[in-house]
């Protein structure tokens, strides 16, 4: 699974909406202090996926995404004709045929330290008779939180559960300078330390925003 996100994001045709680096108005001198950390991260894409597992202690989630992968088969087709005496006969050959097949793939996604978690819809509360309560505008505003620009409503990482459908906004570190070279350092056991792999792993896309789009369906009656 190491460095799986680096190549898997590129395969997610129906689920990933690639975005470019964020651009904006010219920054003021007072913004420089804020940019020391934010300018190194750029948007890397969005994923719509189903949650498989949640690792709350590590702030990671495992999700299942739908990807399109090529599949090659061979079919016998007429590729030409050849004359034998007074007859013209077809020449057959096995021709490769490429089709795209839909498959499911599991990805493990780490999050940034200040990852934002939201719910697309407010959490439904029920009255003493089990009926859903109708929320007032004031209650909805409170659930929205202090930042009205954030999508959806407030949530916590602990609200993420298996079988939910989530939208994950990915970010990655902005590349600067030439590509890193394989190090010559060796570990204690004498084998070459995988410093390059650690560096690449550190630059994998991470989740900066997770929106809970839909909760899992309720279990069937009687279970």
Q: Is residue 106 part of a domain?
A: no
Per-residue pLDDT of 26-83, as tens digits, reads: 444 434 433 444 457 888 889 999 999 999 999 999 999 988 888 888 888 888 888 8
Largest CA distance in the chain: 93
Number of domains in the chain: 1
Q: Is residue 187 part of a domain?
A: yes
* Phi and psi at residue 42, to the nearest 5°: -130, 155
Strands 206-214 and 87-119 come out as parallel
Q: Is residue 27 part of a domain?
A: yes
Q: Is residue 220 part of a domain?
A: no
Write down the pTM of the prediction: 0.62
Per-residue pLDDT of 97-111, as tens digits, reads: 888 988 899 999 999
Q: Is residue 48 part of a domain?
A: yes
118 vs 181, more confident: 118
pLDDT at 223: 56
Per-residue pLDDT of 118-176, as tens digits, reads: 999 988 777 787 788 888 888 888 899 888 788 999 999 999 999 999 999 999 887 66
pLDDT at 53: 95
Domain residues for the domain of 41 are 4-66+111-214
Q: Is residue 30 part of a domain?
A: yes
Residues 6 or more apart from 215 whose CB is under 8 A from it?
161, 164
Enumerate the H helices of 14-84 as residue ranges.
32-38
pLDDT at 184: 55
pLDDT at 68: 86
């Amino acid at each position: 699974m190491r460095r799986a996100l680096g190549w898997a994001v590129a395969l997610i045709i129906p689920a990933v909406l690639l975005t470019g680096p964020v651009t904006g108005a010219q920054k003021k001198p007072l913004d420089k202090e804020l940019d020391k950390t934010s300018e190194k991260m750029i948007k890397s894409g969005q994923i719509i996926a189903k949650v498989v597992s949640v690792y709350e202690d590590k702030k990671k989630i495992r999700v299942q995404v739908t990807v399109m992968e090529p599949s090659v088969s061979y079919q016998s087709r007429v590729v030409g004709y050849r004359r034998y005496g007074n007859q013209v006969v077809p020449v057959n050959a096995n021709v490769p045929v490429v089709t795209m097949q839909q498959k499911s793939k599991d990805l493990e996604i780490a999050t940034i330290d200040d990852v934002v978690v939201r719910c697309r819809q407010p959490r439904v509360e029920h009255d003493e008779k089990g009926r859903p309560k109708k929320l007032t505008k004031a209650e909805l505003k409170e659930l929205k939180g202090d930042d009205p620009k954030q999508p959806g409503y407030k949530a916590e990482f602990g609200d993420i559960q298996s079988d939910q459908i989530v939208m994950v906004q990915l970010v990655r570190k902005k590349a600067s300078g030439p590509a890193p070279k394989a190090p010559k350092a060796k570990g204690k056991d004498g084998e070459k330390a995988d410093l390059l792999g650690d560096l690449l792993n550190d630059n994998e896309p991470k989740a900066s925003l997770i929106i809970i789009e839909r909760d899992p369906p309720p279990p069937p009656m009687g279970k």
